[in-house]
Amino acid sequence: MRRVETEVCIVGGGPAGVMLGYLLARVGVDVVVLEKHGDFLRDFRGDTIHPSTLTLLGQLGLREEFLALPHNEVGTLDVVVNGTRIHAVDFGALPAPDDFLAFMPQWDFLNFLAGKAAEFPSFHLLMSTSATGVRRAGAAVTGVTATDAQGELEVVARLTVAADGRTSTVRAATGLEPRQFGVGIDVLWFSLPKPAAPPPPTLAYLGDGALVLTIDRGDHYQAGSVIPKGRFEALREAGIDAFRDSLTAAAKPLRGVAGALTDWDQVKLLSVQVSRLDTWHRPGLLCIGDAAHAMSPAFGVGVNYAIQDAVATANALAEPLLTGAVSERQLAGIQHRRLPPVRAMQALQLRLHAAIGRPPEKPVLANPPTAGQRAALNLLVPLIRAAAPRLVGRGFRPESASPLFTS
């Protein structure tokens, strides 16, 4: 069998894997990143680059070049609940210059980062290469087995990182099983043209039993509809016209453009999951990103948290990798650092799911809001506005690249 030897084998070329590969290669650690697809092209993935990631790119000296790529910048996000527009998020409250959310197709971001990593001789990216299992020496993981177009190979490594997403093969091969938190929703994604006179940037419309997302992608919306889990087939049977009607009932500004949705082939079902490993490591193995904790699309923070895991991992392990061995205690330290912000965010996501999963006869907000609801909104909205930019834009514990990566 062909054999590749390296210091760190990273399985998965998503945001977590590519960022970790970039950081470690930048300080001279030999890394092999395995990505099962032949490219980074994936539709309807998290395409948000958060203020904390912009700050990180600035620390790494990549910000300007990154922002020269085609992207969209959003400074505010509204939410419309039963016709009442709430100015929920104003990223202008964050310190400049990273006071906006950048929307960029995830493949452009990953191509950019992988291109930058390829400038370092110790970075090796194996595309179209799928990990199939792990190598072991006693209890320790010592790399992975994999397949590519030429057949089987093994990657021998001092440290293996599972960054292969929510259905992680590496995690399964080591017997680590995530705890699933019940999620009652799925998301249908599709593209819609923007209305000729578009409303202010609006993240979501909630009303009439529907939750419709409209992410501004410049010339069009990446639109989403949150549905009860398992209801997709029933919706298909009811027909695309009924689906369009449910969208426009909740999101009135879409009335003139929803007609572009004519066929279910335009609609992609994405199953929402919230899960977390109790233990993110084994001797010689660390799980990060969705492989350690699948995030819901709520608040759009999954990519951000995956990147923050990569930064925390690189900060903790670069020196040990350069000077000697990595102990399981050091791997446990990474979980110890990242678990509290992940747990807090997942708890918020589950709360949001519970709120949006309410039956139509018990809406969060009446239309029009009652006097009591208006009073509550007057109290709550300023609090939401104060907390949301930090919560969405930076997350609970944003990580900074250590001086090792910035000097």
Interface with ligand FAD, residue 17, by CB under 6 A: yes
Q: CA separation (Å) from 120 to 7, 58, 125? A: 15, 19, 11
| Nearest to ligand FAD of 17, 143 (CB atom) | 17
CB of residue 393 to ligand FAD, shortest distance in Å: 11
Instruction: Give the range of 163-171, 177-185, 198-206, 245-253 binding ligand FAD by CB under 6 A.
Output: 163-171
CB of residue 8 to ligand FAD, shortest distance in Å: 15
Whole-angstrom Cα distance, residue 304 to residue 53?
Answer: 7
Structure tokens at 146: 């994999």
Out of 4, 8, 13, 346, the only residue in the binding site for ligand FAD (CB under 6 A) is 13
CB of residue 260 to ligand FAD, shortest distance in Å: 21
| Nearest to ligand FAD of 31, 365 (CB atom) | 31
Interface with ligand FAD, residue 16, by CB under 6 A: yes
Answer yes or no: are the C-beta atoms of 155 and 32 closer than 8 Å: yes
Please work out the total of residues on this chain that contact ligand FAD, with binding judged by CB under 6 A. Answer: 34
CB of residue 268 to ligand FAD, shortest distance in Å: 9
Interface with ligand FAD, residue 104, by CB under 6 A: no
Interface with ligand FAD, residue 51, by CB under 6 A: no
- Of 114-153, binders to ligand FAD (CB under 6 A) are 130-131
Q: x-or-dash pattern for ligand FAD, window 212-251, by CB under 6 A? A: ----------------------------------------
CB of residue 203 to ligand FAD, shortest distance in Å: 10
CB of residue 280 to ligand FAD, shortest distance in Å: 12
Whole-angstrom Cα distance, residue 267 to residue 254?
Answer: 16
Q: CA separation (Å) from 29 to 32, 39, 148, 323, 386? A: 10, 24, 24, 10, 41
Instruction: Give the range of 2-10, 284-292, 319-327, 393-401 binding ligand FAD by CB under 6 A.
Output: 284-292
Instruction: Give the range of 6-14, 24-32, 345-353, 386-394 binding ligand FAD by CB under 6 A.
Output: 6-14
- Of 25-44, binders to ligand FAD (CB under 6 A) are 34-37
CB count in 10 Å sphere of residue 46: 21
Out of 23, 31, 48, 125, the only residue in the binding site for ligand FAD (CB under 6 A) is 48
| Nearest to ligand FAD of 369, 394 (CB atom) | 394
Interface with ligand FAD, residue 98, by CB under 6 A: no
In sequence order, which residues have a C-beta less than 8 Å from that of residue 336 and are 6 or more positions away?
none
| Nearest to ligand FAD of 17, 207 (CB atom) | 17
| Nearest to ligand FAD of 29, 104 (CB atom) | 104
CB of residue 278 to ligand FAD, shortest distance in Å: 18
Instruction: Give the range of 93-101, 115-123, 289-297, 312-320 binding ligand FAD by CB under 6 A.
Output: 289-297
Interface with ligand FAD, residue 304, by CB under 6 A: yes
Interface with ligand FAD, residue 289, by CB under 6 A: yes
Whole-angstrom Cα distance, residue 175 to residue 146?
Answer: 18
Whole-angstrom Cα distance, residue 6 to residue 30?
Answer: 6
Out of 253, 284, 302, 341, the only residue in the binding site for ligand FAD (CB under 6 A) is 302
| Nearest to ligand FAD of 111, 130 (CB atom) | 130
Q: Which residues bind ligand FAD (CB under 6 A)?
A: 11-17, 34-37, 45-46, 48, 130-131, 163-165, 169, 187, 270, 272, 289-291, 295, 297, 300-304, 306
